[in-house]
Structure formats: C-alpha cells, structure tokens
Structure 1
C-alpha cells in the first residue's frame, strides 16, 4: 500500500511576498558567494516573525502571555481537520456548528479558493468573539486559518485573538488550503525556537489520514 504524501500548506518565503501593512518585508540575499569565500555560499534573511505562514504566541497580543520558546510543541503536531467555510465575511459558533467538530484537536479553516500571495488582501474572513468558547467546548486546541489574521486588519482590540487565548486555543495563520480537500489529516507546523519571540514562521505540512 502506497504511503500518502505530505502536502505543503505553507507560503513560500520570497522577496515578492505580501506582508502585513507596515511590517518588515521578507528579504533573502547572499551575504557571501562561493567565489568570495572560496568554499560556500552564505545567505541571510530579514523578516518579521509574522511573515507568511506563522504561529502567534500569546505574547503577541498579551504582554503577560507565553512567548514562542515557552509553547508546548505537541500543539503543532498531530491530527487535524480541514473544513470549508468559504463565502463568509466572519466565522463564529453559528458557522462552525454544522461541521460536527467534537473531539477535533486541531481545526484548519479554508476561507478562500484563490489568493495572490504577492498582494495583501483588501478583505478577508475574520473570526468573531464567540469562536473561542465554542472551540474550547469542542476540544479544539489549535485553530489554523488561511488569512493574515483572525482579526480585521484595523483592529486594535484584537477580540478574536483574545477570545481564542482566553479559551486555551492557539493560533496558526496564513496557511494555504485552496487546493486541499476537507477532511482529516496529520499536521506538522512547528515554530522555530526563537527565544522571547511573539511569533514564528513555520513550515506547515499535512498528510491525509
């Protein structure tokens, strides 16, 4: 029996990728070439920790919250379910109830079927404040979404972030699900062990169960 293949659901980190308005653009370049060193090429990157596919540590929006190096890595490895909620301006309890997510530890939301990753979206699906209590009730510990944030771009109160955090649900943002079928998967989306950080880019992959 052929083993099912891993599917990459992370955004490629490129110099052309869109980033949050006003945030540090991603940049990769060679600091030294093999011709210069005589042996190897050596690259360097400049980036926000929220570039592309990334996790938010609670410290991102709560000064007393855990930082990346303090997070439980088991959150980011294990079974997950992809569901399709395209067509909604916002998602909360009412939109999630029909899917029967009882006992699903990691939930990945597909909200769009097409996206230009070089352009920051003018509009995207956000989460409502009632999402946190509902996910906790169902046993969800990690919520992934294919948008730049769970809150609107101009939000200062960060209601969805706080709702999730207050209910022990962690956040994975900017995954790529447009070609992924709804269903059950294994997920690996490990953050880098960045000491003191408020977030981290991840290489997120899933494999059908």
Structure 2
C-alpha cells in the first residue's frame, strides 16, 4: 500500500510569512495552441513538503543537486512524539535504530493544513549527535521547520548538518501509524538550489 505524505500545492497552500506563495497558471490553452495546454508554476523552494539543502542555512553548504539520492529512498521509521512539546534524545530511547537510517517524527502539531502554524514543538539540538550515533542520515518532520518558527540561529539545522543528517520538512503524517515503511521523497534536480519540493510517499513493508 502507498501512503501519500505530501501536502497539496495550490493557491491556498500556506507559506512562510513573507515568502512567495505557490501558484500554477495556464500559460497557453489548447484553444490557443490548437494542440496542448501548457502551465507554469512559481513557488518558494520551502513550501509544503520539501527538502532543505545545507546551502539553505550555510552559504558554504551543499546544494540540492549535490545530495545523494539514496538519502531519500529506503527504509524509514515513523515515531509518534505527539505528546511532547520539547523532543529530546530520551524521548527516542525506546527506538530500535538497527535498521533505521531515516527517522520521521509525527508531532500532529500542524493540524490545520490550510493555515501556517503559529507555534510548533521544539527539537533539542542534542538530537543531532544522538541520531548520528545511532546511524540516522535523514530526519523528517510534519512541521514547517526543525527549528522554532522565529529562530534566527537555526540551532537544530546546524546540529543536524554537523552530524551529517539531512532534513525533510512539511510532511503530512496524520494518517500514518507508527512503524517501519519504505520512504520515497526525491527532490528535484535543481542546480545550485537551497531546497526543493518533493512528492513524498510511504510504502508498507511486508512483516511476514
């Protein structure tokens, strides 16, 4: 079974305050061309479900086209942390990380998909070293950011980069039960970009 964990892109998709909203427009219609409809899109790289490249918060960091695709395909573990407002290493102590390179945190804090949240749970930057020690290479969240919305220092972003962990944000995990899945969340091949939207899906794994 395939579970779509992407947020829909349309004119009503909430964006970071002040950022460019998503738009899709029909540039040419079939009536105009005689053969095809041709559309165009405009968007921030950080709208809805997206990958942050290190260049997003580090001017010397790698760009989206330089990230290895194997980061975004493979076994992933969904963990429910919806009872926590500050998520720390001890909140993940029960996890068996032996087959987990990709960790997706379900907070359920972005409950209204039509509005941008006013506040979100906080991830303790000590998670960077903790997750690296357990072999995690990708952290996904159902939030607009891994840092507080008003953060200027982006401590969690930097803690993850320092520990070689990449970032997937804006997931919709509302219909996903905790457990192990196969994740596919490929960023677009945009040269020099600081991020990219993705179509993220989970596939159930046969446990037999």
RMSD: 1.1
Counterpart for residue 46 of structure 2: 50
Give the TM-score, by structure 2 length.
0.96
Aligned counterparts of 1:114 and 1:201: Cα–Cα separation in 2: 18
Aligned counterparts of 1:90 and 1:67: Cα–Cα separation in 2: 29
Give the TM-score, by structure 1 length.
0.95
Counterpart for residue 84 of structure 1: 80
Match of 2:204 among 197, 202, 208: 208
Counterpart for residue 173 of structure 1: 169
Say whether the 8 Å CA contact 2:49–2:199 is kept in structure 1. Answer: yes
Say whether the 8 Å CA contact 1:113–1:178 is kept in structure 2. Answer: no
Aligned counterparts of 1:92 and 1:27: Cα–Cα separation in 2: 37
Aligned counterparts of 2:173 and 2:62: Cα–Cα separation in 1: 28
Deviations 1:131-157 (A, max 9, x none): 100000110000000000000111011
Q: CA deviation at 1:125?
A: 1.5
For structure 2, the 5+ residue unaligned runs are none
Alignment of 1:32-111 (within 5 A): 32-111=28-107
Q: CA deviation at 1:102?
A: 4.0
> Aligned residue pairs: how many?
205
Counterpart for residue 121 of structure 1: 117
> 4+ residue runs of structure 1 moved beyond 4 angstroms?
none
Say whether the 8 Å CA contact 1:30–1:42 is kept in structure 2. Answer: yes
Deviations 1:47-93 (A, max 9, x none): 00111100000000011110001101100000000010002112121
Match of 1:185 among 160, 181, 191: 181
Say whether the 8 Å CA contact 1:185–1:208 is kept in structure 2. Answer: yes
Match of 2:127 among 117, 124, 131: 131
**3-state SS, counterpart of residue 98 of structure 1:** coil
**3-state SS, counterpart of residue 104 of structure 1:** coil
The farther-off stretch of 105-114 and 178-187 is 105-114
For structure 1, the 5+ residue unaligned runs are none
